[in-house]
Amino acid sequence: MIFYDFAMFAPNPWIAWIFAQEKGIVLERQVLDLFTRENRREPFISAVNPLGELPALQLDDGTAISEVTAICEYFEDIQPDPPLVGSTPEEKAETRMWVRRIDQNVAWPMGEGFTTEEGRAFFTSDHDLDGVLAKSLLPLEAAAILKAKSRSKMIWLDNVMQGRQFVCGDRYTLADIYLYCFLQFGENHGQPIPDEALWLKDFFQRMKARPHAWHGTPSSLD
Ligand SMILES: N[C@@H](CCC(=O)N[C@@H](CS)C(=O)NCC(=O)O)C(=O)O
């Protein structure tokens, strides 16, 4: 099983990596070069992910899986212990609900905010890639709106999480790993946890203390 990753910290690959580590799943890691846009060129786009994004997984029978939640759910199916999505339909639904909320309200606008502003110089020409394969960019004015949305939803989440240990209460799940990786991305790229979001700040420190947290330096895309 080959796990396609970047050499630098990127939130979606890191989610899948932590998830696999927590389950003791051994992955053969293959690093693609973001700077030469290897992830958006052949042979990767035909053989593995036509969207050219990471993470991606290629199974021993050649099956290719991308989209971070699909990869994590696959890991959960082949290695149910410890359960990180859930052991019952109710637990699974609760985890998926929070992952979706965190994705749509915090992670996606944060990532797009970065791509639209700080990442703009890098992604603008997108290295002579065919237009269909190039990263699509929103107008520069959208960056502030996207970042404000992510920030306000961090505060919303902080309010809702009061009194909980993890996103799903006592259960440590994919939702925690997902949230942690995007909070880490925000810390690295000028979208930190708002000062008033004390639960999130405490959660972030608790997640940082876990064995597979990220402790590197921010990427040169800063
Ligand atoms: N919808 C995808 C998003 C994956 C994604 O955006 N990956 C980023 C890294 S966090 C990436 O590949 N960026 C490089 C690029 O878009 O060329 C998922 O859920 O896995």
- The Å distance, Cα 162 to ligand 1 centre, comes to 30
The gap between the terminal CA atoms of the chain, to the nearest Å, is 32
For 1-9, what is the mean pLDDT? 96
The 10s digit of each residue's pLDDT in 118-139 is 999 999 988 899 888 999 999 9
User: Of 18, 45, 53, 112, which is best to mutate to test ligand 1, by the most ligand atoms within 8 angstroms of its C-beta?
Assistant: 53
Mean pLDDT score of the chain: 96
Closest atom of ligand 1 to CA, residue 40: 17
The pair of structure tokens assigned to 206 is 């608790």
- CA angle 207–162–212, rounded 5-degree value: 5
For 165-189, what is the mean pLDDT? 98
Q: Please, which pLDDT band fits residue 160 given cuts at 50, 70 and 90?
A: very high
d(CA 222, CA 170): 36
For 187-215, what is the mean pLDDT? 97
Q: Are 178 and 166 in contact (CB under 8 A)?
A: no
- The Å distance, Cα 54 to ligand 1 centre, comes to 5
For 201, residues 6+ apart whose C-beta sits below 8 A from its C-beta are 193
Residue 4 DSSP SS3: strand
The pair of structure tokens assigned to 183 is 């909070």
92: pLDDT strictly greater than 50: yes
Q: Are 57 and 29 in contact (CB under 8 A)?
A: no
The residue among 80, 106, 89 whose CA lies nearest residue 19 is 80
E strand or H helix that includes residue 94? helix 89-102
Closest atom of ligand 1 to CA, residue 37: 17
Q: Which amino acid is at 24?
A: G
What domains sit in the chain, N to C, each tagged with a CATH number?
2-78 (3.40.30.10), 89-208 (1.20.1050.10)
Q: Are 116 and 23 in contact (CB under 8 A)?
A: no
Closest atom of ligand 1 to CA, residue 55: 20
Q: Please, which pLDDT band fits residue 221 given cuts at 50, 70 and 90?
A: low
Q: Are 1 and 57 in contact (CB under 8 A)?
A: yes
203: pLDDT strictly greater than 50: yes
Residue 205 — φ and ψ, nearest 5°?
Answer: -65, -40
The 10s digit of each residue's pLDDT in 140-154 is 999 999 999 999 999
Q: Please, which pLDDT band fits residue 222 given cuts at 50, 70 and 90?
A: very low
For 165-184, what is the mean pLDDT? 98
The pTM for the full model equals: 0.97
pLDDT of residue 220: 57
Closest residue CA from atom 6 of ligand 1: 53
Closest atom of ligand 1 to CA, residue 10: 10
Closest residue CA from atom 11 of ligand 1: 53
Q: Please, which pLDDT band fits residue 158 given cuts at 50, 70 and 90?
A: very high
